[in-house]
Amino acid sequence: MGLPEAKTFEDDSDQTRLFGDIDGSFPNHDANQLHHATLVDLQKVVREGQYDFGVAFDGDADRAGFFDEKGDIIPMDLITALIAQDVLCREKGVIFYDLRSSRVVKEVIEAAGGVPMMSRVGHAFIKAQMREHKAIFAGELSGHYYFRDNYVAESSSMAVIALCNIVTHSDKPLSELIAPLRKYACSGEINTKVARDPQEILAEIKAKYADGNVFELDGVSVEYPTWWFNVRCSNTEPLVRLNLESTKSVEEMEAKRDEVLALIRQ
């Protein structure tokens, strides 16, 4: 039995658009899907209708955030894992993920027969690494998705089409496809405005957690058997960014998150 025909956007009855008129003043809300307060309107529409999923684009539409059919936000690194899994069904190869991504992304890539490779944050670095290693696909926690078939450039529209095909070819709704990937406790990216030198903070963190597996691909990352974190400095603002995950429990994530934040904010 062949696969069902993939969905297209030719019939407008299959979709509902919100705030589709271009207006650079952004009268409806901030155009950043990382700020969950900007997603409320779209979540409401998805929850009240019969939709397979929802998509939120940023201001220049190079990033995409997704909701399942229940209107629940899907972390963007889990979308990376889902698309990677689908891509690897057709061709094995290298998949990049940025170092802030859940460890489940690496696990999914390996289980699907791919070669997971960690990247630092930023499109210039990811594109260069994809070319160097002939990677098939890459994803960032920020919602950038990169496809070899798009000359290793990011494409939110290709990510949407990929998700359409995944949902269409499955007998499960998106929430059930994502559920097995929601296995670890993540802090999300926490930004702290600091008054002292951010590099001094990174040096203190590196010294305090020297007993872990420390590496400096982008900022300072430290790995332990059941938890890990990355601390990075903003290139444009006096901000220090923390991402932390526990593969053990929410309680461990919260305790370690607060421990690292206390060091950042002292």
Q: What is the pLDDT of residue 237?
A: 78
This prediction's pTM: 0.87
Question: 254 and 165, same structural domain?
Answer: no
Question: 124 and 28, same structural domain?
Answer: yes
Residue with tokens 């997971």: 116
**Listed residues 182, 212, 233: the one ending a domain:** 182
Residue type, 200: E
Structure tokens, 224: 């332990």
Residue 8, judged by CB atoms within 10 A of its CB (0-12, 13-18, 19+), counts as exposed
Residue 138 neighbours by CB distance under 10 Å: 28
CA gyration radius, the chain: 19
Question: 172 and 55, same structural domain?
Answer: yes
Strand-pairing partners, residue 96, are: 117, 138
Domain for residue 1, yes or no?
Answer: no
Report pLDDT digits (tens) over 163-183: 999 999 999 999 999 999 999
Distance CA(205)–CA(20), nearest Å, equals: 45
CATH number at residue 171: 3.40.120.10
Q: What is the pLDDT of residue 13?
A: 53
Q: What is the pLDDT of residue 77?
A: 97
Q: Is 246 helix (H, G, I), strand (E, B) or coil?
A: strand
Q: Who wins on pLDDT, 8 or 74?
A: 74
Q: What ranges make up the beta strands (E) of 5-88? A: 54-57, 64-67, 73-74
145-162 burial: b if 16+ Cβ within 10 Å, else e: bbbbeeebebbbebbbeb
Report pLDDT digits (tens) over 216-238: 999 999 999 999 999 999 877 78
Distance CA(157)–CA(32), nearest Å, equals: 17
If you average pLDDT over residues 243-260, what whole number do you get?
A: 98
Output the average pLDDT for the chain: 90
Q: Is 99 helix (H, G, I), strand (E, B) or coil?
A: coil
Question: 225 and 177, same structural domain?
Answer: no
Question: 197 and 121, same structural domain?
Answer: no
Q: Provide the domain limits for residue 100.
A: 6-182
Question: 219 and 151, same structural domain?
Answer: no
Contacts of 171 (CB under 8 A, 6+ apart): none
**Listed residues 152, 182, 212: the one ending a domain:** 182
Question: 223 and 138, same structural domain?
Answer: no
Domain for residue 177, yes or no?
Answer: yes
**Listed residues 155, 182, 209: the one ending a domain:** 182
* Contact (CB, 8 A) for 93 and 134: yes
Domain for residue 138, yes or no?
Answer: yes
Question: 72 and 126, same structural domain?
Answer: yes
Number of domains present in the structure of the chain: 2
